[in-house]
Amino acid sequence: MMVASTVRYQAFGVRTCTRTLRYNRRTAAAAAATQTGETKKVALVTGGSGGIGASTVRNLVEKNYTVVIAARSKTKATSAADQVRESVPDADVRIADLDLASFASVRACADNILDEYERLDVVCNNAGIMALPSRELSVDGCEMQMQVNHLGHFVLMEKLYPLLKATADASGEPARIVNVSSVAHNFASTSFPVTDVNLAEPGAYGALGWTAYGNSKLANILFTKELHRRLRKAGVSNVLVNAVHPGVVDSELPRNLSINFYPLLRILGQLITNDEGARGQTRLCLGSAPFETVSGAYIAEMASQGKKGEHELFDSSAQSNDLGLQRAFWDESCRLTGSKWNVLEASTQTEQQLSEMNV
């Protein structure tokens, strides 16, 4: 059950502060255990039942995380969890029902997570669909790729943010949000439809093919950068959020393409494996060097630069760095989902101060 209360958190010698949060009923009791290392870190991976998501789950389990696979298919999630347990002794892998194409399902999943888990250290928003052959709307009336790839995760993060923040406060270590984007964000509409995300124009391959997918991947980066800015404006420095292009992975994601160029990329040696694609988001989830304190950034796989399977900080598109677009699309995402993000505290820094900090 979710309750509103005021809890005091003492994080490893840092002065005690009082924060009003909407949080899980177990969070207060878990704070002391978190501080003394009595509980394992917990990570949630959406779409963790296959592809780079499954590789990410295994990587985190190998680092002694409890990992929750949030997926639509319980059968696939169970199979993925069983495979991890076979390869990693004493693996702690859980399953959560999540259909990102339904805001009701997303909120129900988040409520279950908040009710069941005492802490949450990492969320990897990995699930996604790609280049649908025809225009399709979700049960909530949103273009399907935009809802599954961005809007569903937007709702999920609003609900889970308080537990991420409480965990960071109690443990003294940053909580981390990783949004899986794509180089395809460069394929977004040049006049990104802030107020028309149910885009009806045809894409390069079939109706809505690349344009809608590109829009959803641009949305991932806009969300990342705007959330980072709002966190810093609220004086929150212990919740880090980044976006990552995992690389062009040899997976089932392009199954809807009417013209599949993956065989050519395979011949040219430009495709990478699931394990290679998962490296970047795994490093962000773990805060591995050089990403320990990075936030608001875009990380990309570097095969195009002759560094296959390596991930580095990279410049995303000019569109994705447009402050006005970031803010406008945040507001539009709130309108479409009914989210308010009131969980972010009032600003403690001015826009001028943020500008001077390059936030």
**Considering only CA atoms, which of 170, 204, 178 is closest in space to residue 189?**
204
Q: Residue for token digits 């995760």?
A: 153
**Catalytic residue selected from 117, 161, 205, 213:** 213
Structure tokens at 186: 């460069």
DSSP annotation of 147: I
* Backbone phi and psi for residue 205, each to the nearest 5 degrees, phi listed first: -125, 90
C-alpha distances in Å from residue 23, one per residue of 67, 116, 252, 322, 354: 20, 12, 37, 33, 28
C-alpha distances in Å from residue 252, one per residue of 45, 100, 244, 273: 18, 18, 19, 12
Alpha carbons within 13 angstroms on the beta-carbon side of residue 264 total: 3
| Catalytic residue check, 117 | no
Q: How open is the CA angle 316-319-338, to the nearest 5 degrees?
A: 105
User: In whole angstroms, what is the distance from residue 138 CA to residue 337 CA?
Assistant: 12
Residues annotated as catalytic are 213
